[in-house]
Amino acid sequence: MSLPSVYQNKFAEKLTILNDRGRGVLIRIYNIKKTCSDPKTRPPFLSDKAMEPSVKFINKKFPHLDVRSSTQHLGPVHKDKGDIARVLGPIYHTFLDVLEFRDHVYELLNTIDASQCFFDIHVNYDFTKNYLDLVVTYVSLVLLLARTEDRRLLIGMYHCAHEMRHGTSDPSFARLGQMVLEYDHPLKKLMEEFGPHTKAVTSALLSLHFLFARRNQGAEQWRGDQLLSLLGTAGTMLSPASSDTMACEYLSLEVMERWILMGFLVCPGALGSSPQCLELWRLALQGSLYITLLRDEVLQVHKVTEELLSSLKGYGKRVADLKECKEHAVAHSGSLHRGRRAYLRGAVRELEALLEDQPGLLGPKALFVFMALSFCRDEVSWLVRHAEHVTKTKTPEDFTDSHVAELLFLMEQLRRLVRRQVRVLQRYHVQYLARFDALVLSEVIQNLSVCPEEESIILSSFVSSLSALSVKEVDDKEQFDFTPLRLDWFRLQAYTSVAKASLPLGSNPDVGRVMNLIVFHTKLLDSLEELLAEASDLSDLCFYPRPVEKMFVATMEEPSMLRYCIAFPLLCSHFSRCVHPMCPEEYPQLKAMALGLCNKFLEEMARQASACIMDACAEQHNLSEQLLPKHCASTVSKARNKKTLKQPAKKGEPERDKPGAESQRKDRTLTTNMDKLHLTLAELSLSLNHVPNFTVFEHMVTPAEYLSSHLETRFAKAIVAMAGYSQATQEVARPSEVLVGLSAYVTFIQSLEQFVGLDTGRIIRSVLLQQTQPRDAAGEQTLTTIYTNWYLEALLRQASTGAIVLAPALQAFTTVPREGEPTFSAAEFSDVSEMRALAELIGPYGMKFLSDNLMWHVGSQVTELKKLVNENMDTLVQLRSSSCKPEQMAALLPRLTSAENVLKRMTIIGEILSFRAMAQQGLREVFSHHCPFLMGPIECLTDVVTPDTDIQVTLSIFELASAAGIPCEVDPALVNVLAGSKMDGSSPEEDYKVACLLLVFVAVSLPLLASDPASVYNTEVDGYNNNIHCLAKAIIHVSAALFTVHNKNIETHLKEFLLLASVSLLQLGQEMDKLRARNRDSISLLMQLIVAESSFLTVDMLETCFPYVLLRNAYREVCRENLLSRVPSL
């Protein structure tokens, strides 16, 4: 047959186009099947109850549907014909594509048979492979079509809607309907169709015999042959790995298995005519229980084949062979593949380590890489497929593998290595093609006994193209493109494989072998990604989420595999290869599935890593807690007992280890919990930091960010948990203890940066900054909220009842022991060190939140005080004007109501302001320690404020100073609160009058305190047992804020207050009732406290209205009484 006549057949072009087209049609049918089987995606009218009569009618009468005479049954279809035609149109045309594809396949297969083509996978690789791919694609399509349960309904309903809309049926419907009927029993129909093609299919399959037997070996045989080992033959390490059948070396065993089993499924007659066919078929049947049709659609090959052969006459022996092979597969296939995976883990690990260390070996040993990838891909695919579909087995361990992550990881490493060292591959193989392949091909051409002109021109062009290559093209980063050369070779294979070809390829196999080698080398230059995909594509695992997730869970439970678990998220980057141009509607679902799986894997890895970090932090916290002063009591007690020779503790009391004992170990093999945590964390860190980022469906995924996010969340929860706050019992940990624990956590997290690969500083800053806010990023309460609530609800509330007393001498609140009151020690939560710790924990923002809440309570108390002033307005006005008339004041005082209430509320205000001052002092010390360069300028700015400075400027400066913890003459926070608490409907003048009268009310009410038994000045605490010493701070700060709001002179009003208070207290000297005046001396000392508290008042001012001699005598008398009260009675 002359070459020009063979050109007309265009076998190469048709095989290429039909294989791609067939793959697309196959995916579309798969998508239709999945869409219609899922209630969520199924077209709604197919499930509509009103449509049920039409559905039954169409299924029953298909394909003989008389639309015009069946209006009674098809009424619902007529009603929705527009929507039905629109929705089912693409589906109907997909079925038409199947019909069209079948026609083209028929034509091509018949032409190939007529041409008596020669097939040999070792010689005309591309021609044979594409032919077998087409056969398997067509068989898979027919089987998948038969599995689409709604095919009749979908086609018939569209046909009805189309005819209703256009008045005539679709011209292709009759043929399409007939095809659907023919494939109701697909295998029998396929047998009929492939009867004429048995010879061609069998010859192609027989060429696999030697190759399949060589590749389908167990791990022991591989080990004996030292498969994939570079060290086994170290002397030839630099020699190029070559073969007469290069592409066959990395051809998927799964693909060959599918060719053989599906080929003989439709051509069973060959099994009885050739012993080699029978042997090949039996060998393939022993390897797998399920073979792939498409994605997760599989063929239970033994069952299906047995059903088919049992229905045919003369195949009794083949059925017996089949059952024997099935038993062998059930008993041994699992262990066979388990052994292969175990061998591949070691062999590929060694190969990857050598190539990583010496990437130059990639040049001569590139074939080993693609062989390793192909072998690993086959084993992973087999495992996932059988793990999903094998439900009942006596050996479940054969279908699970907790070490599969290592295999996936090594595949990723090899792919990454090849991509990174692409220049090494190109430099080596450019020279190989130009200096060896071209010369060998030229020699083979010269040795041909017959070489027609056309073939000679094509082969010579190959030689000239390869000879022209140079290393300079690689150095200049020029793009290679050998696609035309490979297509020409494919065409030449087809032309020379027909019977009576001028240059029969079967008689000249050397040409095919050399060209197959050249094709592999050219792919390494210009089609590396396609070659990697061909050898290691795992995109079909996207459709096996359940077994993949189970494998991931098993990996996470295996400590030695944790470092490889990143392979599962990286696996999701393959899934974008599932998308086919003929089925773009799949893209959103595939994208969602891939991203969902990737996210699930990384979330779990980050969860375990963060849990490990938090557990290690908790261990460090426990160790640091052992060093707290409160835990040294037992040690001190033992030391004292030893000195005084007291009896040792009872045997029942456990011996407490001293801090540091955990670091002593007799044997390194004894592992502690911290050792295990460090090991687990190191393994997970290796995994999470394996790649900085990767792409999944155009989304950039950064694994370390998952850990960062989880760590932030857990760290925030751990900090809050350290506080141990219980709203019911009002229990909370001391700020200093929380700070110690927090320091332990922070120190450990900072130490992670060297091997976790996180910006731990950013994480710590983010979490700690959130703790200074009322709510964190997740909306949960923070330390700021917890301590603000506790100090308000527990400490200050108890202070207002007298259960807790402010002790200025101790700079803390102290608890007054009482029955039924809280037993916590207020000093342990309010002394100087605790206030510093609180400021460290919640920072300036948190302290401002605490201050704002305190001031809100002060504002509430002032509002209530103003109401009391309004109730006594007239009397207070008269008292204010009678400051120089003691007798008249004495007569007016009994008219006042709620005087004790006023004093009580002012005392509460004083307690709140005193606590705030202590907190501000703690903030100031902490701020000075952390930011001395800021504190200095702020203090200088505060010092330059004078009475003449504009009030708004003054308040702005004071607000800045207050934020740094510096005390101010006028509290800006209090000014803001009181400015917003003016009486409703009152004018500024009236509000100012109320402010003045409030001071009058407090001043004239002070003598009432003398009758309170608790109003005794205690020199030990430098205060009163009923907290009335807090009145000084309340009076000074409230008056300063009130008169700042009204822009009045503060000093003038405080002088007026001193005058009224002095007159009122001096009248106590004339009081005849001793009970009412019994604590007169103690109350007199309030005047000194008020003056000392204010920067606006001086002792000289006090002297003008309250003689200092009275204060001196009061101090002496109070000290004498305190001393007498401590003298034990005889």
What single string gives the DSSP state of each residue in 774-841? Answer: SB-TTS-B-HHHHHHHHIIIIIIHHHHTTSEEEETTTTEEEE---TTS--S-THHHHSHHHHHHHHHH
Residue 1018: what are its φ and ψ, rounded to 5°? -105, 115
Considering all CA atoms of the chain, what is the largest pairwise distance in Å, rounded to the nearest integer? 146
d(C-alpha 838, C-alpha 841), whole Å: 5
User: What does the buried/exposed string (b/e) look like for 851-862 if buried means 16 or more CB atoms within 10 Å of the residue's CB?
Assistant: bebbbebbbebb
Report yes or no: 369 and 414 within 8 Å, Cβ to Cβ: yes
Burial class (CB in 10 A: 0-12, 13-18, 19+), 984: exposed
Torsion sign, CA atoms 995, 996, 1001, 1002:
positive
Which segment of 39-53, 243-257, 597-611 scores lowest on mean pLDDT?
39-53
d(C-alpha 998, C-alpha 1109), whole Å: 29
Task: Average the pLDDT over 100-109 and give the result.
Answer: 95
10 Å Cβ neighbour count for 40? 5
CA distances from 529 to 418, 422, 469, 537 (A): 10, 11, 21, 10
Closest CA to 1082 of 1001, 1012, 1003, 1000: 1012
Closest CA to 213 of 128, 258, 280: 280
d(C-alpha 225, C-alpha 537), whole Å: 26
8-state DSSP, 898:
S
Task: Specify the amino acid at residue 907.
Answer: T
Question: For residue 1130, is pLDDT > 50?
Answer: no
Helix (H, G, I), strand (E, B) or coil at 305: helix
d(C-alpha 962, C-alpha 980), whole Å: 19
Percentage of the chain with pLDDT > 70? 96
CA distances from 53 to 60, 77, 536, 1113 (A): 11, 10, 50, 111
What is the separation of C-alpha 566 from the centre of its chain, rounded to a whole number of angstroms?
Answer: 13
Question: For residue 753, is pLDDT > 60?
Answer: yes
Closest CA to 183 of 261, 258, 266: 266
Q: Looking at residue 656, what is its pLDDT?
A: 66
Percentage of the chain with pLDDT > 90? 56
pLDDT band at 586 (very low <50, low <70, confident <90, very high): very high
Angle in degrees, CA 663, 665, 668, rounded to 5: 115
Secondary structure string (H, E, C) spanning 475-526: HCCCCCCCHHHHHHHHHHHHHHCCCCCCCCHHHCHHHHHHHHHHHHHHHHHH
Contacts of 900 (CB under 8 A, 6+ apart): 1005, 1008
d(C-alpha 289, C-alpha 302), whole Å: 7
Which segment of 180-184, 269-273, 449-453 scores lowest on mean pLDDT?
449-453
Q: In this structure, what token pair is assigned to residue 253?
A: 């065993």
pLDDT band at 594 (very low <50, low <70, confident <90, very high): very high
d(C-alpha 133, C-alpha 129), whole Å: 6
What is the separation of C-alpha 434 from the centre of its chain, rounded to a whole number of angstroms?
Answer: 50
User: What does the buried/exposed string (b/e) look like for 267-306 if buried means 16 or more CB atoms within 10 Å of the residue's CB?
Assistant: bbbbbeeeeebbebbbbbbbbbbbbbbbbbbbbebbebbb
Report yes or no: 322 and 285 within 8 Å, Cβ to Cβ: yes
Residue with tokens 């426990």: 622
Report yes or no: 907 and 801 within 8 Å, Cβ to Cβ: no
Helix (H, G, I), strand (E, B) or coil at 661: helix
Question: For residue 1074, is pLDDT > 70?
Answer: no
d(C-alpha 548, C-alpha 539), whole Å: 12
Q: In this structure, what token pair is assigned to residue 52?
A: 């049920």
pLDDT band at 1104 (very low <50, low <70, confident <90, very high): confident
d(C-alpha 12, C-alpha 124), whole Å: 11
Q: Looking at residue 7, what is its pLDDT?
A: 63
Torsion sign, CA atoms 671, 677, 682, 684:
positive
| pLDDT digit string, tens, across residues 435-444 | 999 999 999 9
Report yes or no: 962 and 968 within 8 Å, Cβ to Cβ: yes
What length does the chain have?
1130
Cis check: omega of the bond before 63, within 30 degrees of 0: yes
CA distances from 429 to 251, 421, 423, 843, 1048 (A): 21, 13, 10, 64, 93
Report yes or no: 470 and 434 within 8 Å, Cβ to Cβ: yes
Report yes or no: 787 and 842 within 8 Å, Cβ to Cβ: yes
Q: Looking at residue 1, what is its pLDDT?
A: 43
| pLDDT digit string, tens, across residues 759-788 | 889 999 999 999 999 999 989 999 999 999
Helix (H, G, I), strand (E, B) or coil at 1016: coil
What is the separation of C-alpha 980 from the centre of its chain, rounded to a whole number of angstroms?
Answer: 46
Q: Looking at residue 1101, what is its pLDDT?
A: 87
Q: What is the mean pLDDT of the chain?
A: 89
Question: For residue 965, is pLDDT > 60?
Answer: yes
Q: Looking at residue 6, what is its pLDDT?
A: 55
- How many C-alpha atoms does 807 have within 13 Å on its Cβ side? 20
Contacts of 124 (CB under 8 A, 6+ apart): 118, 493, 494, 496, 497, 505, 512
| pLDDT digit string, tens, across residues 346-365 | 999 999 999 999 999 999 99
Question: For residue 196, is pLDDT > 80?
Answer: yes
Helix (H, G, I), strand (E, B) or coil at 34: helix
d(C-alpha 526, C-alpha 182), whole Å: 45
Residue with tokens 């060290």: 231
Task: Average the pLDDT over 380-409 and give the result.
Answer: 91
Residue 290: what are its φ and ψ, rounded to 5°? -135, 140
Torsion sign, CA atoms 688, 690, 691, 694:
negative
What single string gives the DSSP state of each residue in 120-163? Answer: -TTTSHHHHHHHHHHHHHHHHHHHHHHH-TTHHHHHHHHHHHHH
Task: Specify the amino acid at residue 954.
Answer: T
Q: Looking at residue 821, what is its pLDDT?
A: 57
Beta bridge partners of 1017: 1024
| pLDDT digit string, tens, across residues 633-666 | 777 777 777 776 555 555 555 566 677 777 777 7
Task: Specify the amino acid at residue 879.
Answer: L
Question: For residue 572, is pLDDT > 90?
Answer: yes
| pLDDT digit string, tens, across residues 452-481 | 888 889 999 999 999 999 999 999 989 999
Closest CA to 308 of 294, 290, 322: 322
Which of 944 and 578 is assigned the larger pLDDT? 578
Angle in degrees, CA 682, 685, 688, rounded to 5: 160
- How many C-alpha atoms does 322 have within 13 Å on its Cβ side? 22
Contacts of 799 (CB under 8 A, 6+ apart): 805, 806, 813, 826, 911, 915, 1027
What single string gives the DSSP state of each residue in 575-592? Answer: GGGG--TT-GGGHHHHHH
